[in-house]
Amino acid sequence: MNPDEIRRLFTSALADPEPVHRAGTDAIVAAGRRSVRRRRTAIAGSSGLAVLAAAAMVLAAPVVLSGEDRPPVGQAGPEPPAETTEDGEELPYEPCPGPTEEMTSEQLETSAMYEAALDEAVTEIGGSLGALCVEGQTDYDGFHYDPDFGGYRYHEIAVFPDSGGDADLTVEVRDPVEGPLEERMEQIAECGEAADCTWNHGSEAGALLETEGDRRVVVDEDENPEGDPIPFSGVLLGLADGTVVRVETGGGEYGLEPLEVTHEELAGIAAAIAGGEESPTREHDEGYLIPEDGELIEAFTQAVVATVPEAEIAEGEPTGFAPAADDHYGNDGTELAYLEVDVGGEAVTFFLQKTPIEAPGDGGATRTAAEHYARCTLAADCEFTELDGSTALTHRTYGGGQTELTSIEHRAADGWAIGAGVVGGTADPPVGFEALDEIVHQIR
């Protein structure tokens, strides 16, 4: 059989009409956002304060339904197992489950902390993590604690876009054990057997052992039961408390061009993980001029009272900011604070949303940028007004059982979008966009 015959065979196999896609592009984008948000939430969750704040918001946030199928707004906490979008569209399945059921909260936080440090360190050398969970040692997407192994493990693919290459990346953080540290490290590395080992005495982070060699990887037992020799290089970093951090990368492009990650770079990754507890959280990337939460909420409360004189604010209001659990408010970093108010005998919820703009200045205050950050594709209606070259105002309306109105000021130069919204009353809120615009204006 020759190549042309093979191509005809393929064409014949595809002769049936293709099925209709079960998930549209929007559903894929939504799932991508969820994936990114989950990773960021895990990273942010490595801060004890962030965890406490999120837990507090579960109790404090009001449940407001502005559409029959819409989930409660402001509910923080674990990502819901969303199988469909708001439109009922099926979301893509994810083959790499998170290890949430098998670790303690402390282990989860530590895993997230290690992953944040690893992500940062790999990014610094031009890589990108999490392309694919790897069959074999772990079934998880990310770090997980393995009590039988005696430490945290990570095994995924790192992608290096500039070179177009990728690499198997294995990271281990082994618990301290009794006995000589360097001897243990040599045993872990299988020095003299599977690896050539060299001690690097110039490391300030701890005892550093550099390794390299070949591992035989069996890809197809029938075709090649002995496997192919796959080059690897790695480091083991022994810390003063006996913890051993191992970072090893195997050639992703087997037999082609071995990916060159130097021992120095690997040592940098190991040191970053070892010092992960001191890594800053990355909930909001540096450079965003987000006002202090307390100031913002205070200004919001005063603006509501000033703009809606008949408003009576319930005791204990307002709440603090919490991550938006629903995509319809804004992007991954969107947070909301709520204010329960009685307006002429009707229970009304005002909310303040703040959305960091990932690339301040990018796109200016154009309609495309403003409507993107306001999630206008999900709204029943959006009205755009350009205020000046870097500021725009968007009036966003969601329908459903209760109408939800939001006036969002998109401040491209500052790097954030802020919105004042209202939902409540019998069907339509007792205040409109004019009042919301005034509230936003006063906050500014």
Partner 1 sequence: MTPEQEVEFCEYVEARRGALLRTAFLMCGDWHRAEDAVQTSLVKLYSAWTRTRRDSAEAYTRRIIANSLIDESRRGWFRRERSFAEPPGPTAGEHTHDDRLTAVAALARLPPRQRATLVLRFWEDLSVEESARILRCSVGTVKSQTARGLQTLRALYENADFTGQGAPS
Residues that bind partner 1 (CB under 8 A): 1-3, 6-7, 9-19, 21-23, 25, 28-29, 31-33, 35-36, 39, 92-95, 123, 128, 130-132, 135, 159, 161-162, 164, 166, 219-220, 222-224, 228, 252-256, 331, 358-359, 362-363, 368-369, 372-373
Nearest approach in angstroms of CB 8 to partner 1 is 8
Nearest approach in angstroms of CB 370 to partner 1 is 9
Nearest approach in angstroms of CB 96 to partner 1 is 9
CA-CA-CA-CA torsion sign (398, 404, 407, 410): negative
Which residue in 157, 171, 164, 172 sits closest to 256, CA to CA? 164
Nearest approach in angstroms of CB 134 to partner 1 is 9
Nearest approach in angstroms of CB 305 to partner 1 is 35
Nearest approach in angstroms of CB 247 to partner 1 is 20
The smaller minimum CB distance to partner 1, of residues 3 and 309, is found at 3
The smaller minimum CB distance to partner 1, of residues 8 and 444, is found at 8
SS3 letters across the chain: CCHHHHHHHHHHHCCCCCCCCCCCHHHHHHHHHHHHHHHHHHHHCCCHHHHHHHHHHHHHCCCCCCCCCCCCCCCCCCCCCCCECCCCCECCCCCCCCCCCCCCHHHHHHHHHHHHHHHHHHHHCCCECCCCECCCCCCCCCCEEECCCCEEEEEEEEEECCCCEEEEEEEEEECCCCCCHHHHHHHHHCECCCEEEEEECCCCCCEEEEEEEEEEECCCCCCCCCCEEEEEEEEEEECCCCCEEEEEEEECCCCCCCCCCCHHHHHHHHHHHHCHHHCCCCCCCCCCCCCCHHHHHHHHHHHHHHHCCCEEECCCCCCCCEECCCCCCCCCCCEEEEEEEEECCEEEEEEEEEEECCCCCCCCCCHHHHHHHCCHHHCCEEEEEEEECCEEEEEEEECCCCCEEEEEEEECCCCEEEEEEEEECCCCCCCCHHHHHHHHHHHC
The smaller minimum CB distance to partner 1, of residues 6 and 58, is found at 6
The smaller minimum CB distance to partner 1, of residues 15 and 49, is found at 15
Nearest approach in angstroms of CB 227 to partner 1 is 10
The smaller minimum CB distance to partner 1, of residues 49 and 256, is found at 256
Nearest approach in angstroms of CB 257 to partner 1 is 9
CB atoms within 10 A of CB 144: 21
The smaller minimum CB distance to partner 1, of residues 135 and 241, is found at 135
Nearest approach in angstroms of CB 192 to partner 1 is 26
The smaller minimum CB distance to partner 1, of residues 1 and 427, is found at 1
The smaller minimum CB distance to partner 1, of residues 393 and 435, is found at 393
The smaller minimum CB distance to partner 1, of residues 256 and 427, is found at 256
